[in-house]
Amino acid sequence: MERSGQRVSDRLALAVLLASLFTSPLANAQQPQLSVTEIAPGLFVHIGAIALMTLENEGAIANVGFVVGNDAVAVIDTGGSVREGRELLAAIRARTDKPIRYVINTHGHPDHVFGNAAFIGDETAFVGHKNLPQALAARGPFYLDAFRKIMGDGLIDEVRIIAPTLLVEGSLTLDLGGRRLVLQAWPAAHSDSDLTVLDETTKILFAGDLVFLDHIPVVDGSIRGWLRMMDDLSKQPAERVVPGHGPVSQWPTALADERRYLETLAADVRNLIKRGAPIGVAADTAAASERSRWQLFDDYNARNATAAFSEIEWE
Amino acid sequence: MFRVYLFCIVALSGFALTGVPASRAAEEPIDPWPGLVQDIFNNLPMNDGGDVISIEMPYRAEDAAIVPVTLRSRLAPDDSRRVRTITLVIDQNPAPMAAKFEIGPDTRVSEISTRVRVNSYTNVHAVAELSDGKLYVVKTYVKASGGCSAPAVKNVEEARNRIGQMKYRQFSRGDQGPTSGAREAQIMIGHPNNSGLQMDQITHLYIPAFFIDEVHLWLDNSPVLSMEGGISISEDPNIRFTYISNGAKTFRAEAKDTSGHVFQKEWQVDDSGT
């Protein structure tokens, strides 16, 4: 009897442990919070690590943030895992109990959307570019498979690919109560579902991955489109920018490094195509002059050159 | 019709073979190759192809959607055998049979480059069928890409606008000397080459497969090269190849997709070979 009593208490302990693992983050005082900085009144940002998504960093490599109005909160990107999303939610709840009315995804890459599931709720609408549902449909299952291998079941099992229901074509204004966010959907550039979010009150622009600083820009939409739209992007009436990756910076001077990289890459690729070089040569040599200027250059440059080549050869 | 059917069967069997949860697959990798030899090559004996052909791919698939691959004949010029077909198989892809190239008898195509999608860490096999009727296999290994790269169309609107556009280009082969008769040419076909394995997140319907399944290339009226393709071929299918000129004056291309569209175009061949 003593033994079975011991077993019961073991089971009880296990049940308590399991229960604590699965209780809602709101009820759990132990829920860690994502470190965020209030860079302007009511506007909070977490600056992601300049790295690839790994098990160790829990996918927390992109900049994410939130804006608090008089009536409601909007979240801009949710991070690279539900764990990061929950930590962002905890950071929000430590500062305000206003409803999270909008979760805005600046595009469909995993480091920006894998935290979405932490925000599912009746009061929350997911917002994205009109092309985002299609991009997520085409890529979501592949991303889950690929990042399961890198980040493990523990982080990926709970990730849900959540398509936006509030779609943006052109521009859309969201009112958080005395505070307007102006969303702009862009033609294909970094990806084919890029969306920016301007907080009119503080003149801060969440640019998503249309702006990279320090972290090498990644071309997954159209390099020519990106270069074409950059003048229009620079006219967004902002004073500072929260890039998708890299530090909060002055606007629009923050675009200079990225523009130089993309122009160099496009010029090098164009020259290789003119000379009849095959695509693999572009991967090995294009934009080599930029190597010392960017972090993660060797992780992305060959891939950018490959994408740029397959686009520019149609000119 | 038969070809479409064949690709569907291969696609499904590939699914069955790779459909285990990825985490488990990572611990106990299942080699799909024996099953693929059965499905695609009817279990015919595979001979070592090291002296017959070579396959060249980057060790890492930098962009999962566009991975260059080059196939070269290694047969000596005086070898009595010739390469009839080369089949390219990406073992771990949802549709492993990427392409089957058939080489025209008169033009001695010695090198073929194209671009493929690579979903995962995978072996890639190239199987040459020689005129002696035997199969010769070589393989290489490709690591999957990292980051946000996916084997999907990058710019859906642009891909749609480009459907059916064709571009032809000739390259100089100065390295082989102007008198060698060696020519290098490239054909590009605008097409999204959609896999159809994707579910629309709003309607929960599968997006139908829509891809180029046949390409035929001629110099005057001699067939140079043809390709039966599947969804592992990258968007905007691109074939670059080296051949020995038969003095033809025109180059003609015809491509068909799974929706029955036929795209055709003809170009003048530049005599200088540049």
Q: Domains plus CATH for chain A?
A: 24-254 (3.60.15.10)
Nearest CA in chain A to B171: A276
Instruction: Say what the pLDDT of residue B128 is.
Output: 98
Compute how many other C-beta atoms are within 10 angstroms of the C-beta atom of residue A3: 7
Residues of B whose CB is below 8 A from A310: 66, 115, 234, 236, 238
B242 located within any domain? yes
**Tokens (6 digits) for B125:** 């096999």
Distance from CA of A302 to the nearest CA of B (A): 6
Q: What is the pLDDT of residue B16?
A: 39
Contacting residues of A for B65, CB less than 8 Å apart: 307
- Asked if residue B273 is part of any domain, the answer here is no
Neighbours of A229 (CB within 10 A): 18
Q: Tell whether B228 is covered by a domain.
A: yes
Chain B interface disruption, residue of A306, A309, A314, most B CBs within 10 A: A306
How much is the pLDDT for B201?
56
- For residue B274, tell me if it sits in a domain: no
Please judge whether B150 and A142 are an interchain contact, meaning their C-beta atoms are less than 8 angstroms apart: yes
Residue B252 located in a structural domain: yes
**Length of chain A counted residue by residue:** 315
Q: Is the dihedral of CA B99, B104, B110, B112 positive or negative?
A: negative
Cross-chain Cβ contact A314/B63 below 8 Å = no
Residue B115 — very low, low, confident or very high, per pLDDT cuts 50/70/90? very high
What is the residue range of B216's domain?
2-268
Question: Quick one: DSSP state of residue A185?
Answer: E
CB distance B126 to B36 below 8 Å: no
Task: Give the total number of structural domains in chain B.
Answer: 1
Q: For residues A177 and A175, what is the distance between their CA atoms, to the nearest angstrom?
A: 5
Determine the pLDDT at residue B49.
Answer: 98
Give residue B178's pLDDT. Answer: 56
Burial (CB count <10 Å: 0-12, 13-18, 19+), residue B49: buried
pLDDT digits (tens, 9 = 90+) for B214-255: 999 999 999 999 999 999 999 999 999 999 887 889 999 999
Q: Tell me which residues of chain A have a pLDDT lower than 50.
A: 1-9, 12-27
Residue B236 lies in a domain: yes
pLDDT at B179: 61
Checking if the pLDDT of B10 tops 80, the result is no
pLDDT at B157: 87
Instruction: Report how far residue B238's alpha carbon sits from residue B261's, in angstroms, rounded to the nearest whole number.
Output: 18
Please write down the HEC assignment for all residues of chain B. Answer: CHHHHHHHHHHHHHHHHHCCCHHHHHHCCCCCHHHHHHHHHCCCCEEECCCCEEEECCCECCCCCCEEEEEEECCCCCCCCCEEEEEEEECCCCCCEEEEEEECCCCCCCEEEEEECCCCCEEEEEEEEECCCCEEEEEEEEECCCCCCCCCCCCHHHHHHCCCCEEEEEECCHHHCCCCCEEEEEEEECCCCECCCCECCCCCCECCCECEEEEEEEECCEEEEEEEECCCECCCCEEEEEEECCCCCEEEEEEEECCCCEEEEEEECCCCCC
The per-residue pLDDT for A25 is: 45
Q: pTM higher than 0.95, yes or no?
A: no
In this structure, chain B runs to a length of 274
Dihedral sign for Cα atoms in the order B30, B31, B35, B39: positive
Looking up residue B45, the CATH number of its domain turns out to be: 2.60.40.2470
Which of B122, B168, B169, B201 to probe the A interface (max A CBs under 10 A)?
B201
State residue B219's pLDDT score: 93
Q: Is residue B25 part of a domain?
A: yes
Q: From the CA of B116, how many Å to the nearest CA of chain A?
A: 12
The span from the CA of A209 to the CA of A242, in Å, is: 10
pLDDT tens per residue across span B44-100 = 999 999 999 999 999 999 999 999 999 999 999 899 999 999 999 999 998 999 999
Tens digit of pLDDT for each residue in A211-223? 999 999 999 999 9
Provide the ipTM: 0.87
**Who among A137, A148, A299 is closest to B23 (CB)?**
A148
What is the model's pLDDT at position A17? Answer: 45
What average pLDDT does chain B have? 85
> Residues of A with CB below 8 A from B115's CB?
279, 310
Token pair in block for residue B258:
């799974």
Q: Taking Cα atoms as reference points, which of A119, A146, A131 lies closest to residue A59?
A: A146
Could you tell me how many CB contacts below 8 A there are between chain A and chain B?
129
Confidence of residue B108 (pLDDT cuts 50, 70, 90): confident
On whether residue B67 sits in a domain, the answer given is yes
- Min Cα distance B85 → chain A (Å) is 23
Average pLDDT over residues B104-123: 93
> Residue B147: which of A52, A141, A222 has the nearest Cβ?
A52
Angle at Cα A43 formed by Cα A40 and Cα A46, nearest 5°?
105
- Within 8 A of A148 by CB-CB distance, chain B residues are 21-23
The C-alpha atoms of residue A114 and residue A77 are separated, in whole angstroms, by: 9
**Test mutation, A50, A145, A147, A165, chain B, max B CBs within 10 A:** A145
Q: Which residues of A touch B71 (CB under 8 A)?
A: none
- Nearest Cβ partner for B58 among A135, A139, A283: A283
- Point out the residue among B144, B155, B197 whose CB comes nearest to the CB of A146: B144
**Is B3's pLDDT higher than 70?**
no
Distance CA B244, CA B114 (A): 19
Q: Which of B65, B146, B154 sits opposite A192 (nearest CB)?
A: B154
**From A143, A145, A306, residue closest to B63, measured CB to CB:** A306
Of residues A259 and B160, more confidence is placed in A259
Residue B7: pLDDT over 50:
no
Chain B residues within an 8 Å CB radius of A280: 58, 68, 70
By CA distance, what is B153's nearest residue in A?
A: A138
pLDDT at position B175, please? 62
Query: Mean pLDDT across chain A, nearest whole number?
Result: 92
Measured over the CA atoms of residue A23, residue A24, residue A30 and residue A33, the dihedral's sign is positive
Residues of chain A contacting residue B21, judged by C-beta atoms under 8 Å apart: 148
Q: What is the pLDDT of residue B272?
A: 53
Of the candidates A52, A136, A279, which has its C-beta nearest B201's C-beta? A136
Site from A143, A220, A312 to mutate, B interface, most B CB atoms within 10 angstroms:
A220
Rounded mean pLDDT, B110-128? 96
Q: What is the pLDDT of residue A16?
A: 45
Residue B186 has pLDDT above 50, yes or no: yes
Handedness of CA A236, A309, B171, B252 (dihedral sign): negative
Between B77 and B37, the higher pLDDT residue: B37
* Residue pair A234/A255 in contact by the 8 Å Cβ criterion: yes
